[in-house]
Amino acid sequence: MNAPLSRRTALQAAGATVLAAGLSGGLMATEAHADAHNSASKLLTYPRPATLPTNTSFKARVRTAPDGEWQTLDIYRPQLEEINATTGSGKVYNTSMVYFDFRGSVELEVTYLKGGVTKARVRPDSLAITPELLGDTLRFTLDEPRDIVVQINDEIFDCLHVITNHIDPHPPCADDPDVIYFGPGVHTVAGNVLTVPSGKTVYLAGGAVLTAQVFFKDVEKAALTGHGMLYAGPGGILCEGSKNIRVQDVIIMNPNGYAGTFGESENVHVKKARSFSSKGNGDGFDVFSSTGIVFDGCFMRNSDDCFAIYAHRWDYYGDTRDITIQNCTLWADVAHPINVGTHGNTDAPEVIENLVIKNLDILDHREPQMGYQGCIALNPGDSNLIKNVRIEDVRIEDFRWGQVIHMRIMYNTKYNTSVGRGIEDVYIKNLSYRGTHANPSLFLGYDAEHAIRNVTFENLVINGQVIADSMKKPSWYYTTDAMQWFYNEHVVDLKFLTTAEAEAAAQ
């Protein structure tokens, strides 16, 4: 183990950075530990290290509701990207983020310092938060921790992301021998890669910033937790050949690659991780040839796929199965919020199966290329077979450019060496879209041997209208004509049911 992983070094780093962050930050952490079981409302904020860039569009304050003392929040500067559809070049934008922990209820006050506020929106819309607008300042209340986006005058990039956590009732101690502890402040490690041994937990305290990749390699029962962040560096999390891994609460900001890569791993639980990215191929979390991976409660705003689920690529081999994406909020400035199936093994075909995608808010999707559209895309290539997919309770807000859903048996010669084998047994329940920017969704089998089979929509709602095969329409119309979707002759057994019809069929 190198020096940065030692207990002595961790303690020294924690002590030095607490002092550097200021006495108030250290006192807040101590206070949280002392009265974690107190049921009264409580608020913890963390200083931004002075060496990290900020953004100047917003001032944000928070207090315990209804009349606690206001605390000004330090603003971080995530970066985001947009692709120019004419040139293909990418433009990077600065945006704003604050984060804090609380118990009970809090009131937020957000002031847009550029002025000229005519309207404000707090997203996702499903939370039904209507802010009080007072000139260039707005106020609203959170009754429990949520990850939200405050948009002013429909600005896409110049907005404020608010990340919140429950107060940790049992934070680890800095001298715990099983914990690699980073206190408030900026930390580096040798080689910019922190390799985590089996049985160890990397803990990023609130206000901690680690500028390194966290690497789980052939280990078991290890974790990355805490209310700090991974910042820049070679990439966020790399998990290879490992099992029983836990990632919780951390923020991954501006990585040079994917926010997280999970290859040939098993039983990984990622809860309330957050990701912002702007670099090329700036995916959020990608899974390769792994089993039993759960993403729960994540907030993802990425410049490529927020989630990508694949089989073989690079040195990863094997099927991918039992993957769950749930309770997440997704915003894809480039490509898909969720993409499944592109990469596999033509020489020894693999299966991607048993996928559960449920309770999602998809805030945006922008992709000029037709072949890379779809808020949820099932695109098997490289002889992959996708089967047994359950998609449920997905709320899609109006996005900039793309499709609601896309299913295609793919042979993209840029990435594939063979056509995908097929898509089978997909059930989509309670998916809704409200908006005007969606291109027609496409369902494209490759040929009779490489087809899409047995896809059922239950209670599909487009702009308030339930889409069902039994709906009133001319007899020569397809159901998909009602919302200008398209499927070809290699799609077999595509059904659109109301909930009542689905329940009757199940009896």
* Nearest CA among 382, 236, 238 for reference residue 312: 382
Place of tokens 């929509």: 457
What pLDDT is stored for residue 28 in this prediction?
43
Mean pLDDT of 406-411: 98
Q: Does residue 440 have a pLDDT over 70?
A: yes
User: Mutual orientation of helices 7-21 and 23-34 as an angle, nearest 10°?
Assistant: 120
Q: How crowded is residue 314: how many other Cβ atoms within 10 Å of its Cβ?
A: 10
pLDDT reading at 292 higher than 90: yes
User: Taking Cα atoms as reference points, which of 307, 384, 305, 374 lies closest to residue 343?
Assistant: 384
pLDDT digits (tens, 9 = 90+) for 235-284: 799 999 999 999 999 999 999 999 999 999 999 999 999 999 998 889 99
Q: Is 3 a residue whose pLDDT tops 50?
A: no
The answer to whether residue 411 scores a pLDDT higher than 80 is yes
CA distances to 233, 287, 302, 406, 414 from 253, rounded to whole Å, are 10, 19, 10, 29, 29
Would you give the DSSP letter of residue 106?
E
At 232, the pLDDT band (50, 70, 90 cuts) reads: confident
Tens-digit pLDDT profile for residues 218-230: 999 999 999 999 9
pLDDT of 319 > 80? The answer is: yes
- Report residue 354 as tokens: 């048993």
- Strand, helix or coil for residue 18: helix
Neighbours of 272 (CB within 10 A): 24
* Residue 489: pLDDT over 50: yes
CA distance 202 to 340: 30
**Residue 233: per-residue pLDDT:** 80
pLDDT value at 384 more than 80: yes
Q: Where are the domains of the chain?
A: 35-166, 257-506
Q: Is the pLDDT of residue 25 over 70?
A: no
In tens, the pLDDT along 125-177 reads: 999 999 999 999 999 999 999 999 999 999 999 999 999 999 999 999 999 99
Token readout for 241 is 């050949």
**pLDDT exceeds 70 at position 8:** no
Neighbours of 13 (CB within 10 A): 23
Q: Which range among 9-13, 51-55, 335-339, 386-390 shows the weakest confidence by mean pLDDT?
A: 9-13
Closest CA to 387 of 418, 415, 349: 349
Q: Which CATH class is domain 257-506?
A: mainly beta
The whole model's pTM is what? 0.93
Q: What pLDDT is attached to residue 221?
A: 98
Domain 35-166 architecture: Sandwich (2.60)
Instruction: Indicate the residue type of 442.
Output: L
Instruction: Tell me what the mean pLDDT of segment 412-426 comes to.
Output: 97
- Residue pair 44/32 in contact (Cβ under 8 Å)? The answer is yes
Q: What is the mean pLDDT of residues 41-46?
A: 96
The answer to which of 38-47, 275-284, 429-438 has the lowest mean pLDDT is 38-47
pLDDT of residue 240: 98
Place of tokens 């607008």: 133
pLDDT of amino acid 425: 98
- The average pLDDT across 413-419 equals 96
Q: Is the CB of residue 18 less than 8 Å from the CB of residue 28? A: no
Q: In whole angstroms, what is the distance from residue 304 CA to residue 336 CA?
A: 7
Q: Which of 136, 100, 79, 83 is nearest to 28 (CA)?
A: 100
- What pLDDT, on a 0 to 100 scale, did the predictor assign at position 39? 66
Q: Tell me what pLDDT residue 234 has.
A: 81
Mean pLDDT of the chain: 93
CA dist., res. 284 & res. 506, Å (int): 37
Instruction: Please say if the pLDDT value at position 336 is more than 70.
Output: yes
What is the arithmetic mean of pLDDT over 433-452?
98
- The per-residue pLDDT for 120 is 97
Mean pLDDT calculated for residue range 384-402: 98
E strands in 35-78 = 42-45, 58-64, 71-72
Q: Measure the CA–CA gap between 302 and 362, rounded to whole angstroms.
A: 12
What is the average pLDDT across 319-332?
Answer: 98
Closest to 185 (Cα-Cα) out of 76, 47, 75 = 47
257-506 and 35-166 share a CATH fold = no
State yes or no: pLDDT of 5 exceeds 50.
no
Which of 7-21, 63-77, 309-323 has the least mean pLDDT?
7-21
Residue 409 in this model has a pLDDT that exceeds 70: yes
